[in-house]
A and B are shown apart, each in its own frame.
Chain A
Amino acid sequence: MKMNIIKKGKGELFTDPDPDHARAFFQKKSRKMVNKAMTLPKAIETFVHDGDYLAMGGFGGNRSPIAACHEILRQGRKHMGLAGHTTTHEFEILSAGEVFDQVDAAYIVGLEARGLSPCARRYMQTGKVKVTEWTNYCISARLRAAAMGVPFVPTRNLLGTDTFEYSGSIIVECPYTGKKLALQPALYPDVAIIHVHESDVYGNCRIRGILKSDNDLARAAKRTIITCERLISNEEIRRDPSETTIPYFLVDAVCEVPYGNYPGNMVYEYFSDEEHLREWLKAEEDPVAFKEFLQKNIYDCKDHHEYINKNGGMEKLLKLRTIEYLLHKEAD
């Protein structure tokens, strides 16, 4: 029996979906449980290269690796591929640095209820970025396929739409039922960066709240950088292994970056700094003013803490913690 191909999307695949190529890579990857703690600049320098395909954990500014995005700009990475799997403030930052020129677009350019990013929009309208269209579920399914070690998984979205026409999916006839299915090719990112609540120095990670696809992302990526709110002991990890989402052998680097998701929302830690996010959107309206804004907030900062200190420091962080726990309402 042969699977009948009905139609192919014309979007380019920016990554290789072949599971045997990925297996060959994973075969050689060290499984040693060694200390992987290092500084964020060191991790970005070692594991994120020009031309790599990058996928980030978290959901659009929520538990997202914002500190790592800033560091990527400071180190001047270019020509990267990017998974736009609900990327909002992250996308805004990486657009400002023109870090990527290939994007798998599921949700890009916007910041949900906050509106659209003028800078990201300008960059996407230059024609300099190659775009393949997908949906959020497509990218989840593509990471799932990679995590399963198979070349694709079938889904029933995309059918009949232009999103399909500009995707890299293929519509086939199901050999069991004759139904039309859209195949989602495995997505093996060169590098994943995932911000988590807690990790030990070996990379055993705990994540609280929604996962998006981060369990699969860590499994699909060739290299995984973890940034964490705090380091915890391996003994604590082993005390309750049911809490572990990502095991150590998937991880290449562990960077302790408290408040590493600021100005985004880290569930159970701190709420998003809406005032500062509005300031970003406002600054983007004028490209000259925005250049100064980036200089001040990214390029002239030696690390994320200098950035936070410039924008309210500890006082601001404590306020965001109060808002996260809705304590400001009880005080009313």
Chain B
Amino acid sequence: MTTNYNPMELMICVASRELEDGSTLAVGTGAPCAAAMLAQKLNSPNLAIMFEAGSVSPQLPEMPISVGDSRASYKAVMVSTMGAIMETCSRGYVDYTFLGGAQIDMYGNLNSTYIGGTHQKPKVRFPGSGGANDFGSFCWKMMVLTVQDARRFVEKCEFITTPGWLRGGNSRYEAGLPEGTGPYKVFTNMAVMDFEQESRRMRIISINPGYSIKDVQDNCGFELFKAPKITETQPPTEIELKILREEVDPHRYVIGR
């Protein structure tokens, strides 16, 4: 029997499998938060979610609209400050973060500040870092959840808001960012990517059902490296989809996009 699902549901289910029980995660609203909630409700009841507004380890009753709203601190173990959350990340206590952006480049750097024009007079202004630069600097493993699109996957970000592997090689640690941190995986509607160990270039490790390596490359603005063995991504299971649709996002705020 084939299960039907849309690309957003696939991305969320695949990404959620990375979040093992007992780990810590710094996250924002939207699809990454849905992945965190799914993990928490399925296999990782003790996944500690942290929100930059100050909430520590909530049990989310529904999707927060803001990381500072009442839902984001529902049944939390503590409400604290933004400084306290960021310092927890800076001390090395936070395993994962999920980020996004208007642009991502071959080293996993992210742009969420502006596109076109100049910094003073941008063509399109975006929010800026928020907590993304902080999480991307401090958390051990940075993951990205985004749609595969050549306009989004660019050779070089116009503006590096949040650090990935910077210019590749050892450049991230030479810049002074904490040793052992960095981009880990990228989840799109077409594939799962990681970063090659030496060059730190993005590479395909797994292809989602229904897509080919060519599809992924055609929707990417730079040459993707390929892992020695590329697998097929495990599609969402019935139980993942059931929890995602019925408990995580019943109003289809995210999975309806």
Q: Does A100 contact B (CB under 8 A)?
A: no
The answer to whether B122 touches A125, judged by C-beta atoms less than 8 angstroms apart, is yes
Contact B133 A163 (CB under 8 A): yes
B16 proximal to A (CB < 8 A): no
Minimum CB–CB distance for B35 against chain A, Å: 14
Partner of A61, one of B66, B73, B133, B159: B66
| Contact status B127-A114, CB under 8 Å | no
Cβ-neighbour of A109 out of B61, B70, B126, B160 (below 8 A): B126
Known contacts: A125-B121, A134-B129. The answer to whether A180 contacts B175 by CB under 8 A is yes
Asked if B28 is at the interface (CB within 8 A of a chain A CB), the reply is yes
Q: Are A110 and B129 in contact (CB under 8 A)?
A: no
A4 to B58, CA, bound (A): 42
Contacts of B72 in A (CB 8 A): 210
Q: CB distance A131 to B137 under 8 Å?
A: no
In the complex, the number of residue pairs spanning A and B with C-beta atoms less than 8 Å apart equals 201
Give a binary string over B61-100; 1 marks a CB under 8 Å from any A CB, 0 the rest. 1011111111011000001111100100010000000000
Establish whether residues B126 and A110, one from each chain, have CB atoms under 8 Å apart when the complex forms.
yes
In the complex, chain B residues whose CB is within 8 Å of the CB of A105: 128
Task: Give the size category of B's interface with A.
Answer: 35 or more
Contact with A along B110-138 (1 / 0, CB 8 A): 00010001011111111111111110011
Pair A159/B177 contact, Cβ less than 8 Å = yes
For residue B201, CB closer than 8 A to chain A, the reply is no
Given A107-B128, A108-B128, are A274 and B73 also a contact pair (CB < 8 Å)?
Answer: no
Q: Are A137 and B134 in contact (CB under 8 A)?
A: yes
Within 8 A of B (CB), among A113-129: 113-114, 116, 121, 124-127
* B 27-70 to A, binary, CB cutoff 8 A, 1 in contact else 0: 01110000000000000000000011111000001011111111
User: Could you tell me the distance between the alpha carbons of A144 and B176 in the complex, rounded to whole angstroms?
Assistant: 23
Q: With an 8 A cutoff between CB atoms, is A204 at the interface? A: no
**If A88-B66, A210-B68, A265-B66 touch, does A156 touch B177 (CB 8 Å cutoff)?**
yes
Q: Is the CB of B176 within 8 A of A161?
A: no
Q: Are B124 and A125 in contact (CB under 8 A)?
A: yes
- Which residue from chain A places its CB closest to the CB of B123 in the assembled complex? A125
B161: CB under 8 A from chain A?
yes
Closest chain B residue to A211, Cβ basis: B81
Partner of B137, one of A63, A158, A211, A268: A158
Distance in angstroms from B2 CB to nearest chain A CB is: 31
List of A residues within 8 angstroms of B121 by Cβ: 125-127
Which chain A residues border B134 with CB–CB below 8 Å? 135-138, 157
| A169 to B: closest C-beta gap in Å | 11
B178, CB-defined interface residue at 8 Å: yes
Using CB atoms, name the residue of chain B closest to A277.
B65
Contacting residue for A136 out of B64, B66, B82, B161, CB 8 A:
B82
For residue A91, give the distance in angstroms from its CB to the closest CB of chain B: 9
A155 CB within 8 Å of chain B: yes
Nearest B residue to A266 via CB reads: B70
Q: Write the residues of chain A forming the contact surface with B, with a CB cutoff of 8 angstroms.
A: 58-63, 84, 86, 88, 105-114, 116, 121, 124-127, 130-131, 133-138, 140-141, 144, 155-163, 166, 171, 179-181, 209-213, 215-216, 265, 267-268, 271-272, 274, 324, 326
A-B contact pairs, 15 of them (CB 8 A): A63-B68, A106-B129, A113-B63, A113-B66, A116-B127, A125-B117, A133-B129, A135-B134, A156-B137, A160-B171, A161-B162, A162-B160, A162-B161, A210-B54, A265-B70
Contacts A135-B129, A160-B166 known; 11 new A-B pairs at CB < 8 A: A62-B69, A131-B119, A133-B129, A135-B130, A136-B129, A157-B134, A210-B53, A210-B80, A216-B81, A267-B69, A267-B70
Cβ-closest 3 pairs across A and B? A180-B176, A59-B68, A160-B175
Residue numbers of B with Cβ under 8 A of A are: 28-30, 51-55, 61, 63-70, 72-73, 79-83, 86, 90, 109, 113, 117, 119-134, 137-138, 159-163, 166, 171-172, 175-178, 253
